[in-house]
């Protein structure tokens, strides 16, 4: 099969590699859409993922959808040809952390695209059947690929305990910020302030049917925003302190973005005097069914998120477009197999 493999920083090549097989308990997925995540970009640009260096040319991509190509031994469905979404955090189910209910923090977790496990920027990928669900009839493959970031948003919102009546601030109007907003809206939360330095990005919620107060961080601070929960979704390491400054006394900060660079500094006076609870959110945990229900019921419409489509041999372009953070694109979508049902 054809695969986009990262040989070194910014060196992606289309290589012919062996097609994986569906092993026992696995589903072979023919990949139809892969959304490029800023976390993919780190490995693409730096050649390592927070210090973990690939030991082989890596296939990237973890936000993906496709159709069932084959079922491994012991797997009863979904039937071959079914469009599916995949949660890419593959836990062991047996370690102490899994048994305590924190499967996303599994000591033996496999995350395709994080070294050394290959990801989905290829024509096929084998996935454990517990991580695979049929897509709702109405959903495109692009929406299927965006179910993973929606799961990240759902997980962060669950951690926050936010519900109707809460005042919320979100830093960063990227895909994760939008997915947090959508997950909040689905829970009946309406008082949302959203900060992003790029003005065009502050227009997106309107297209998603939401109407948060959109502004820059400085404007929200000046306006005296005091949120019950602040979600840091920008990945800017300075934004962790900004999030604290927007929280009310005894409020909560959920850090969803991956701070870049990794080291975060903040004035401890702010969280100390306000007795803030700061929680770091990690990927997603058992969010697939809720995400699919939200899409199937129409409570969440991922089709409204602005994307651009690329073929597999344009993977480098998709990465560079993601790096440029244009105002008119939330995710670059790579389509490894483009025949049949359209992903758009
Ligand atoms: Zn991601
Ligand atoms: Zn485990």
Q: Give tens-digit pLDDT for 162-179.
A: 999 999 999 999 999 999
Q: With the C-alpha atoms ordered 212, 39, 114, 25, is the resulting torsion angle positive or negative?
A: positive
Q: How far is the CA of 263 from the centre of ligand 2 (A)?
A: 27
State whether residue 286 is helix, strand or coil. Answer: coil
Q: How far is the CA of 111 from the centre of ligand 2 (A)?
A: 12
| CB atoms inside a 10 Å sphere around CB 121 | 31
CATH class of 153-280: alpha beta
CATH class of 2-146+305-335: alpha beta
Residues 6-54: pLDDT tens digits? 999 999 999 999 999 999 999 999 999 999 998 899 899 999 988 899 9
pLDDT at 342 over 90: no
Mean of the per-residue pLDDT values of the chain: 93
65: part of which helix (H) or strand (E)?
A: strand 63-71
Q: How far is the CA of 287 from the centre of ligand 2 (A)?
A: 17
What is the rounded CA–CA span in Å between residue 155 and residue 254?
11
Q: How far is the CA of 152 from the centre of ligand 2 (A)?
A: 19
What is the rounded CA–CA span in Å between residue 53 and residue 158?
32
CATH 3.90.180.10 in the chain: give the residue spans.
2-146+305-335
> Which is nearest to 177 in space by CA: 159, 155, 190, 195?
195
Mean pLDDT computed over 206-217: 75
């Amino acid at each position: 099969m054809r695969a986009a493999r990262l040989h070194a920083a910014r060196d992606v090549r289309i290589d012919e590699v062996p097609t994986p097989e569906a092993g026992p308990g696995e589903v072979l997925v023919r990949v139809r859409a892969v959304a490029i995540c800023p976390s993919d970009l780190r490995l693409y640009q730096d050649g390592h993922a927070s210090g973990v260096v690939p030991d082989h040319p890596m296939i990237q991509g973890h936000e993906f959808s496709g159709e069932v190509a084959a079922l491994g031994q012991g797997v009863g469905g979904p039937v071959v040809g079914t469009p599916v979404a995949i949660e890419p955090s593959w836990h062991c189910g047996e370690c102490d952390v899994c048994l305590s209910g924190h499967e996303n923090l599994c000591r033996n977790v496999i995350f395709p695209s994080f070294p050394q496990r290959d990801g989905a920027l290829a024509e096929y990928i084998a996935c454990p059947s517990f991580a695979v669900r049929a897509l709702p009839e109405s959903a495109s493959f692009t929406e299927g690929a965006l179910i993973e970031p929606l799961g990240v948003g759902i997980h962060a919102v669950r951690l926050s305990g936010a519900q109707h009546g809460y005042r919320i601030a979100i830093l960063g109007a990227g895909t994760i910020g939008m997915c947090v907003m959508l997950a909040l809206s689905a829970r009946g939360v309406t008082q949302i302030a959203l900060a992003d330095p790029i003005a065009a990005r502050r227009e997106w919620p309107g297209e998603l049917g939401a109407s948060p107060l959109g502004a820059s961080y400085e404007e929200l601070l000046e306006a005296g925003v005091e949120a019950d929960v602040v979600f840091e979704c920008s990945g800017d390491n300075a934004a962790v302190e900004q999030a604290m400054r927007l929280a009310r006394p005894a409020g909560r900060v959920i850090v969803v973005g991956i701070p870049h660079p990794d080291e975060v500094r903040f004035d401890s006076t702010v969280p100390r005097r306000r007795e803030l609870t700061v929680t770091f959110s990690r990927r997603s945990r058992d969010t697939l069914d809720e995400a699919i229900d939200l899409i199937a019921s129409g409570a969440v419409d991922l089709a409204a998120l602005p994307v651009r489509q690329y073929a597999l041999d344009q993977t480098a372009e998709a990465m560079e477009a993601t790096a440029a953070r244009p105002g008119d694109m939330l995710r670059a979508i790579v389509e490894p197999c483009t025949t049949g049902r359209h992903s758009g």
